[in-house]
Structures are given as C-alpha cells and as structure tokens.
A and B are shown apart, each in its own frame.
Chain A
Amino acid sequence: MTDLDLRELQGTEFPVPADLQGNVAITSLSKIYNWSRKNSVWPMLFGLACCAIEMIATAASRYDLSRFGMEVMRASPRQADLMIVSGTVTKKMVVPIVRLYNQMPEPKYVLAMGACASGGGPFKEGYNVVSGIDKYLPVDVYAPGCPPTPQALLFALIALHRKIDGQSLANMDDVPWYGVGPSDPTPIPILGPDIIDPRQMDIIRRQAELAAAGLPYGKREVPDLVLTAGAASTSAPRTAAEKAADKVASAPAAAAADDPEKAARLAKREAALARKRARQQQQSE
C-alpha cells in the first residue's frame, strides 16, 4: 500500500505561528471539526463518462459509499461538498462544470477521478478535450487509473479524508472560508473559436498581436524532439511566442530561455547529474 505523504500539503505560505502550535484547545477543536466534516462529505451526483459508472458501482451495495457517510449524493451543487470529476472533461462541458463549482458552498473539494480528469487521459490529444480539470479548478485529490476501480476510488476518498484531517482551524490557509468576505468565483470559460479562459486573456491577446504582425504565433509543429529542460535553450533559436509559452508552461525552461547564463548552468547541472547517475548504476552492478 502506497503511503500518502501528507507533507506534500504542508508547504503552506502561512505556517502555524509558534505560540499556536500545540495549542490544545484549537487542536482538539480542529479534531472534532475535521472528524465531523470528513464523515459527512456529500458528493455531487454528477457523472461525466466511463468513470461515472465505476463511481456508481462504488456507491452501490458492494463497495457502499455509505460506510463513509457519503451515500447522500446530491444533484444540487448547493448541497454538495465534493465534486467527483468522473471522466473526460470536454471543452463544451467545462463551462457548466466551472459554473457548478462556483455554486458549491465552501468548504468544497474536487476529486479528479481517472486519468482523463487528472490530465486528459487517453483522449488528451483530442481537440475537444480539456487536458485535466486542474487547468480550471483546484483539485484536491487525484485518483489515477482508467478507470480507477471502486477500491481505487475509495482509497482516493480516504486520501481526501486524511487531507481534511490534516487541516487545522488555526491555519487560515487551510480554512479560507472563515476569512473575510466571499471567495472569488472561478471565471467561467467562454466558448469562442476555441475555449477561452478569461484568465488567459493577456496571453491570447499577445498571440493575436504576433499573428497580426505576421510573426509565428503559437506552435503547431513539434520542434526539436530532444527538448529536455536543459537542452532547450541551446537548441533552435526561440521565437518570442515560444518564450511566452514557456512562461506559462514550465518554470525552469522559461528561466532558461530568459537567461543564457542560467541555462548554461542548468545544462551543466543536468550533465553532472547524468554522470552521477551513470556512476551509481555502474556501482550498483
């Protein structure tokens, strides 16, 4: 059994203040609070694709979600705590999904069930497929598998319980819904010529300007196939568009593209690491 590493969650910006750590009142209160919350996570009755069938099978008598206090599947987002994104998210469907998410009351959780919801899955290359719901919504737990078996889904739900358990009332980062004012809704994507995320308006505008100026505006073809993070900067000359791309895509590559010195350093580091690995392998043999 893979042990979940809760330390993954602890990289918060607001660590628990020293004087609050070990505060008995808060921790016990958190404990009760979390216990009651995690035992009544009501999922939304909401199926997308193949994984939904496994989700229903999980809710049915053999695996029985009610053992976790989750049998109350609410069709209305207003009464739901957990959105199990069970299946491929298409561009056409992500609009209602974001709308549903916005309508869920805090605290709300998102579980990406299956490869498709996590990262596009086998349909990732499809023109109408959103490659992972986390492009639009914050996901709490990912359950890999195509589809995850009911037991794998149950494991993911237990992982969610643990996550809830790990949250502390003393840490405002864990419980932002007790902060001031309502939380900002996720902007709803627009179905234009392709799906448009309002948060990406700037980059789309920049790309459109490039296009108007007759510059290459977005990659269609795969460039050099040997594009490791380190080697990227040394390969073919990069257009402004590509640089812009890297800014949103991968931080190290973007840094490398902006700063040749850093790129060289990264490349050296990569080479050194490779050498080290090779050495280790030889030794192990």
Chain B
Amino acid sequence: MFGQGIVKGLWVTFKHFIATYTADVRRGTEQYLGSTLADTPFEVRQGTKAKGIFTVQYPEEKLAVPERFRFIPFLVVENYDHPERPGHDWCTSCGICAKVCPPQCIWIVRGEDPQTKRPIPEPQAFFIDIDICMNCGLCAEFCPFDAIKMDHDYELASYDRTANHIYDKAKLSKEFRYWQTIAPTTAAEEAEARGGWEHSDVIKERKKAEASAAKAGGAARGAAGGAAQRPRGQAAATSEAAAGQAADAPKPEAADDAAAAAEKAKAERLAKREAALARKRAREQGGQ
C-alpha cells in the first residue's frame, strides 16, 4: 500500500521525538541533576547508551577534549616555581620538529653563545604560524625531549590575524605543570620513558653524577645530591666536572687530575655494566 513506508518512517521520527522524554522519565532527573551513580549526567548523555538529545550547551557546558586531542602546539618550559631552573625551556632547538612539520610552519632560531658563537641547546626564538599549522601532531610525536606538545585550548578566534597568528616563544611557552594537568596519563608515560619527571638532560646528568658518586664512595651521596641540585647554568657542565666535584668532597687530598679521570672512566664502565645486567634481568623476567 502506498504510504506504508512513509508511516513507518514517521514512526521512527516520532520515537526520536519522544526519546528524550522517555529517557527523562526512566532515568528521572539524573540526566540533568546528577545522581548517586558513578556517571555524571553529562557522561550519560554523551555515552553510547544515551537516547534522545545529546546537545552540548556550548558556552555553558563544554565537551572537554580527550587527552590526546591536538590543536596548536605549545612549548613546554620548566615550572615557574621550579627550584633550579624556573621557566627554562625544555626545547634544545635540535630542529627535529621544524623538519618533521609537514606544512613547515615552525621557525626556530637556534641559541648562540654571544662570545664563542657556538650553538647552545636552547632556542633563541621560536615561531609557529597557526595559519599554516595543520594540527597533525608530528612535532610532538617526534620531539626527543618532550618539549613541544599539542595544546587543548581551541578557543582562539581573533579579529586580526596579522598581529596575532604568528605565535612567538612567549606566547607558545607553557609550564610543564600545564601539560601534566591536561594530559596526565600521557605525561606519566613520557616521564616513565625518560626515567623521571625532569627534563631528560637533567635526568641524564643526575644519573651520571650519581653513578660517579656511587663509585666515589658511600659518603659522597650527599655531595652528589648537592651536585644535582646546583643552579641550571652549572648543571650544564660536563660530567667530568661533576665527577670531579663529587670525588672532591669525600677525599680532598686526591685532587690529582689523572687519577680522577681514571676513576671516572672506571665508574662509567661499571655503571654501564650494571645497567646492561639490569636490562638483561628485566628481559628474562619479561620472557617468563
């Protein structure tokens, strides 16, 4: 009979029409006011079991974006209340993000020592043209220092692009703490891969210092901790110096350079061996 299909279709639309009300009746006020259930009403509406309207009333309630959400990149800097290096860039201006950026929207001026003209591992300037950026996240994915991350703030509309849309370092930089808040799981995973919550360079130095300190004797432990907590400018010093200092503390009489160097080499060898053994053990355990 002609018209049967339309009636069937209208039945579907009718069910859609009343779905919100039936869901309200069934679930009570929980969809809007919350309940004793673990899910928030918002979650219920946005979940797979929801029926009826699921509109997000945008400015009054916003759909929080998931952790891996990608928008414009930002640069991670050390927390502003960090004891050793507050506000210091994590970026070492290695340029990998600029190279891997598909539309080439990243400009980096590598830092330079004003006297020696040798490159230093921090960017002097960093620009991202957000009118070119395609939010692909490759920069964040391939950054070896976890220094560039994709931001979650999408509310960026502006009235003028010439003045606002090339982000410079000041505008791009955000505290590490911010990254921990917007992406706790990812940040934790990355920290695990790095071996600590600090920047990978700091961790590396600390490890070196600790290794040599361990070699230098149990009494050196305090000094090694002190060495790791030195201000950032000195922390960039070579491990040799760190080893030297650590060695200095317990036995000041052994200030002989050659002896210190030999000591250091031995310490490194031992540390490496220890690490290799640990890896092997871990592998064996993993195998079982």
A and B touch in the complex (CB under 8 A): yes
A residues within 8 Å of B by Cβ?
1-2, 4, 8-9, 61-64, 67, 112, 115, 118-125, 132, 134, 139-146, 148-149, 151-152, 154-156, 158-159, 163, 278, 284-285
Q: Which of B65, B133, B154 lies in contact with A155, CB distance below 8 A?
A: B154
Is B156 on the interface with A (CB-CB < 8 A)? yes
- CB neighbours (8 Å) of A163 from chain B are 159
A47 to chain B minimum Cβ distance, whole angstroms, is: 19
Separation of A8 and B160 alpha carbons in the complex (Å)? 8
User: Which stretch (B28-36, B51-59, B192-200) binds chain A?
Assistant: B51-59
How would residues 160 to 185 of chain B score, 1 for a CB under 8 Å from any chain A CB and 0 otherwise?
Answer: 11010100000000000000000000
Separation of A61 and B17 alpha carbons in the complex (Å)? 13
Separation of A163 and B158 alpha carbons in the complex (Å)? 10
Is B71 on the interface with A (CB-CB < 8 A)? yes
Is B43 on the interface with A (CB-CB < 8 A)? no
- CB neighbours (8 Å) of B134 from chain A are 115, 121-122, 146
Is B103 on the interface with A (CB-CB < 8 A)? yes
Q: Which of B55, B114, B159 lies in contact with A62, CB distance below 8 A?
A: B55
B274 to chain A minimum Cβ distance, whole angstroms, is: 35
Is A159 a contact partner of B132 (Cβ separation < 8 A)? no
Is B144 on the interface with A (CB-CB < 8 A)? no
Is B131 a contact partner of A154 (Cβ separation < 8 A)? no
Please provide the 3 A-B residue pairs with the shortest distance between their CB atoms, ordered closest to farther. A119-B131, A156-B157, A122-B103
Separation of A123 and B104 alpha carbons in the complex (Å)? 11
Separation of A8 and B53 alpha carbons in the complex (Å)? 38
- CB neighbours (8 Å) of A285 from chain B are 85-88, 232-233
A133 to chain B minimum Cβ distance, whole angstroms, is: 11
- CB neighbours (8 Å) of B132 from chain A are 115, 119-122, 124
Q: Give the number of residue pairs across the A-B interface with Cβ within 8 Å.
A: 126
Given contacts A124-B131, A134-B161, A149-B154, 12 further A-B contacts (CB under 8 A): A61-B55, A121-B103, A144-B156, A144-B158, A145-B72, A145-B156, A146-B135, A151-B155, A155-B157, A156-B157, A284-B87, A285-B232
- CB neighbours (8 Å) of A148 from chain B are 154
- CB neighbours (8 Å) of B63 from chain A are 151
Q: Which of B55, B87, B114, B156 lies in contact with A2, CB distance below 8 A?
A: B156
The 19 listed contacts between A and B (C-beta, < 8 Å) are A62-B56, A63-B56, A64-B55, A115-B134, A118-B165, A121-B103, A122-B133, A124-B103, A124-B132, A125-B103, A142-B165, A144-B130, A144-B133, A145-B154, A146-B135, A151-B56, A151-B154, A285-B85, A285-B232
Is A152 a contact partner of B159 (Cβ separation < 8 A)? no
B104: nearest residue on chain A (CB-CB)? Answer: A125
A149: nearest residue on chain B (CB-CB)? Answer: B154
Is A4 a contact partner of B157 (Cβ separation < 8 A)? yes
A114: nearest residue on chain B (CB-CB)? Answer: B131
Q: A115-B130, A121-B103 are in contact. Are A158 and B160 (CB under 8 A)?
A: no
- CB neighbours (8 Å) of B62 from chain A are 151
Is B54 a contact partner of A62 (Cβ separation < 8 A)? yes
Separation of A132 and B132 alpha carbons in the complex (Å)? 10
Separation of A222 and B243 alpha carbons in the complex (Å)? 49
Is B157 a contact partner of A142 (Cβ separation < 8 A)? yes
A254 to chain B minimum Cβ distance, whole angstroms, is: 15
Counting chain B CB atoms within 10 Å of each CB, the highest count among A132, A145, A278 belongs to A145
A128 to chain B minimum Cβ distance, whole angstroms, is: 16
- CB neighbours (8 Å) of B131 from chain A are 115, 118-121, 124, 132, 142, 144
Is B154 a contact partner of A119 (Cβ separation < 8 A)? no
Is A152 a contact partner of B156 (Cβ separation < 8 A)? yes
B126 to chain A minimum Cβ distance, whole angstroms, is: 13
Separation of A132 and B131 alpha carbons in the complex (Å)? 9
Is B153 on the interface with A (CB-CB < 8 A)? yes
Is B102 on the interface with A (CB-CB < 8 A)? yes
- CB neighbours (8 Å) of B248 from chain A are none
- CB neighbours (8 Å) of B158 from chain A are 4, 8, 141-142, 144, 159
Is B165 a contact partner of A151 (Cβ separation < 8 A)? no
Q: A120-B131, A121-B132, A146-B134 are in contact. Are A155 and B155 (CB under 8 A)?
A: yes
B170: nearest residue on chain A (CB-CB)? Answer: A277
- CB neighbours (8 Å) of B240 from chain A are none
Separation of A71 and B151 alpha carbons in the complex (Å)? 30
